[in-house]
């Protein structure tokens, strides 16, 4: 999270992201949050700049305001949705890998004699 009205906080994002990736699980979901979007008149970080940074670093992105609660709930919903999607995809892939027959496996079928046909050779039904 950085303050959209303070260049210094945005400049720290690269270092924070590096530390996070160094110490966290590789499958972590990360969201870049620009806070204080209610202070548009004091904006120091253009939204497009932060969006581009997030896209280049494969991060989710949102701007929020803790003061008036703008996008705060949406930020949580977005990150939880992405976490769910990530782990649901992994679970489906694991299930598929376990249920997939191994290559070269032979499946045979042996028909059983039909009791109704006995003694009726050459006839149908």
Q: In this structure, is residue 124 part of a structural domain?
A: no
Residue 50 has pLDDT above 90, yes or no: yes
Domain assignment of residue 45, given as a range: 2-95
Quickly count: other Cβ atoms within 10 Å of residue 58's Cβ.
Answer: 8
Q: In this structure, is residue 45 part of a structural domain?
A: yes
The pLDDT > 90 percentage for the chain reads: 66
3-state secondary structure of 63: strand
Token digits of residue 20: 């996070």
Indicate whether this model's pTM tops 0.75: no
Quickly count: other Cβ atoms within 10 Å of residue 68's Cβ.
Answer: 10
3-state secondary structure 6-36: CHHHHHCHHHHHHHHHHHCCCCCCCEEEEEC
Average pLDDT of every residue of the chain: 85
**What does the pLDDT look like over 69-122, one tens digit per residue?**
999 999 999 999 999 998 887 766 666 666 655 555 555 556 666 555 555 555
Q: What is the CATH number of the domain that holds 59?
A: 3.40.50.300
Looking at residue 111, what is its pLDDT? Answer: 61
Which pLDDT band holds residue 65 (cuts at 50, 70, 90)?
very high
Q: In this structure, is residue 70 part of a structural domain?
A: yes
Looking at residue 27, what is its pLDDT? Answer: 86
Q: In this structure, is residue 109 part of a structural domain?
A: no
Terminal Cα distance for the chain, rounded = 77
Give the chain's domain count: 1
Token digits of residue 61: 């992105």
Q: In this structure, is residue 120 part of a structural domain?
A: no
3-state secondary structure of 49: helix
Q: In this structure, is residue 73 part of a structural domain?
A: yes
Quickly count: other Cβ atoms within 10 Å of residue 30's Cβ.
Answer: 17
What does the pLDDT average to over 65-70?
96
């Amino acid at each position: 999270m950085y303050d959209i009205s303070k260049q210094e906080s945005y400049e720290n994002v690269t270092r924070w992201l590096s530390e996070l990736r160094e110490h966290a699980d590789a499958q972590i979901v990360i969201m870049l949050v620009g806070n204080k979007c209610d202070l548009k008149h004091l904006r120091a970080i253009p939204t497009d700049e932060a969006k581009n940074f997030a896209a280049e670093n494969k991060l989710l992105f949102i701007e929020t305001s803790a003061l008036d609660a703008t996008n705060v709930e949406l930020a949580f919903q977005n990150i939880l949705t992405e976490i769910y999607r990530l782990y649901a995809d992994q679970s489906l892939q694991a299930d598929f890998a376990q249920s997939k027959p191994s290559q070269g496996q032979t499946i045979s079928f042996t028909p059983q004699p039909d009791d109704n046909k006995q003694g009726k050779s050459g006839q149908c039904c």
